[in-house]
A and B are shown apart, each in its own frame.
Chain A
């Protein structure tokens, strides 16, 4: 907790300035005060948490899940075959230059207001860090250790599971830590552009009603999801990579 002391102080100061500024401007549809947002959050708690949150969580879970599988499979394929690496890597980079926000309406056209248009946006944003960092992890496998395994007569399969996978794990987790907060952003963008429920959708609806505090309240929830997911990954990482402790 001591580690976070300075950030807590900084945030408190920031919120106080915001509060003072908001009261001075006195236009809550543009700049709602933090206290107004908190009150709004409390008023809307049932609607936000019981109705919109599960929808957004489903998008995040499905999107991240598919990204994980896709990213790891891509990384393994590129690690196995240089031809595949040459074929896939440039496409991977190109996929990140696509302006997702501009494309998202097309996904809505394709998939309607179903969950898939949002899941696709989430996947496109999150699979990249997972793929690239997992691939880098495989490549970081020590050449000397590989040779040692060879001298011990290890099979390809043993080399993969006993050496390459453990070598890639730290990088994989680094990638996952980048991808997890992005999945929240992806889900929110997806919902912003076309949905009938979800935290992103709710925020946008409040925007059309000039309800400043109502725009911010679901964003606070989204941000909390991001933080919680991130902490989960860090804990999982600490548990699995327990040899790195101390």
Chain B
């Protein structure tokens, strides 16, 4: 099992948020607190429209909270653009760029030191993309495109990575392998991952902790610890205590649908 130190990678302190509209806005976050330790793998699950993505949009700086503050690596950051790695739901690769050019976009935008660039070939290999450097996105499989997208998020240089339902468009089989692969990469790179999903099994297999969103607006998120050792294999998801958790969660959501 991977060691977690007590340092916090991400923290929400009394955060309020509502989207602006004519009626003054519907509150989504109310006085919300949340903290994620450095090196943790945390999932957020909730029905669609429950505000999962809003949390991400706040963290990456696409939205500004209306109250409270957000801390990254224990520092209060007001302009968060460029500070966290973000992997969106669709792979969002640019069709006119090759695999390598797509992945290296963050380095290009930040005029990073040469050291950053030099890391690219090694990472391409580690991500199973060796030999595909000069291919265009449309020549790749769905799983590969997601790996490029994840590599791009990694190359943003941040220790905090936000993954927004990254595997939802993949077929079931590819999805299982990508989950295992993601865990390997996470352990290798010692990053902190926040993972949005609406798939309960996926959340249970991947995470240390799961935040469950049931009501909007929400103040605290229901928190669930996953009773599984690491490293994990897909088979581990069949353990009794995990199955029990899964059924509990399913029951909770059933009431809301």
Contact B95 A148 (CB under 8 A): no
Residues of A whose CB lies within 8 Å of any CB of B are 142, 144-145, 147-155, 158, 162-163, 166, 169, 241, 243-244, 246
**Do the beta carbons of B136 and A151 come within 8 Å of each other?**
no
Knowing A148-B86, A246-B139, the reply to whether A153 touches B110 (Cβ < 8 A) is yes
Contact B109 A147 (CB under 8 A): no
- Identify the interface centre among A144, A152, A158, A244: most chain B CB within 10 Å of its CB: A152
Is the beta-carbon distance between A152 and B156 smaller than 8 angstroms? yes
Asked if B88 contacts A144 (CB within 8 A), the reply is yes
Contact residues in A for B170 (Cβ distance below 8 Å):
none
Contact of B109 among A145, A153, A166 (CB under 8 A): A153
Q: B95 is contacted by which of A144, A154, A158, A243 (Cβ under 8 Å)?
A: A243
Given contacts A145-B92, A163-B94, A166-B94, contact A154 B62 (CB under 8 A): no
Chain A contacts for B92, CB-based, 8 A: 142, 144-145, 148
Q: How many B residues touch the partner, as a band?
A: 20 to 34
Residues from 179 to 236 in B contacting A, C-beta threshold 8 Å: none
Using A151-B82, A169-B96 as known contacts, list a sample of 10 further A-B pairs with CB atoms less than 8 Å apart, ordered by residue number in A: A150-B81, A151-B81, A152-B81, A152-B86, A152-B105, A152-B106, A152-B109, A153-B109, A158-B109, A166-B94
Listed in ascending order, the chain B residues whose CB lies under 8 Å from chain A are 60-62, 81-84, 86, 88, 90, 92, 94-98, 105-106, 108-110, 136, 138-139, 156
Q: How far is A56 from B110 in the complex, measured between Cα atoms in Å? A: 49
A166 to chain B, nearest CB (A): 5
Residue from A151, A155, A166 in contact with B60 in the complex, judged by beta carbons closer than 8 Å: A151
Residues of B within 8 A of A169 (CB): 96
When distances are taken between beta carbons in the complex, the residues of chain A under 8 Å from B82 are: 151-154
Bound Cα distance A218, B34 (Å): 78
Q: Which residues of A contact B98 (CB under 8 A)?
A: 243
**Which residues of B are found within 8 Å of A148, using beta-carbon distances?**
86, 88, 92
Give Cα distance in the complex from A242 to B88, angstroms: 26
- Given the interface contacts A153-B109, A162-B108, A163-B94, does A147 sit within 8 Å of B62 by beta carbon? yes
Q: Nearest-CB distance from A10 to chain B (Å)?
A: 35
With A and B bound together, what is the CA distance between A152 and B60 in angstroms?
A: 9
| Complex Cα gap A76–B156 (Å) | 30
For residue A155, which residues in chain B have a CB less than 8 angstroms away from its CB?
109
Residues of B close to A144: CB separation below 8 A: 88, 90, 92
Docked-complex contact B109 and A154, CB < 8 angstroms = yes
A150 to B59, CA, bound (A): 12
Q: Which residues of the partner chain B approach A151 to less than 8 Å between Cβ atoms?
A: 60-62, 81-82, 84, 86
- Closest B residue to A144 by beta carbon equals B92
> Which residues of B have CB within 8 Å of A241?
96
- When C-beta atoms are compared, the residue in chain B nearest to A154 turns out to be B109
**Contact between A166 and B88, CB atoms less than 8 A apart:** no
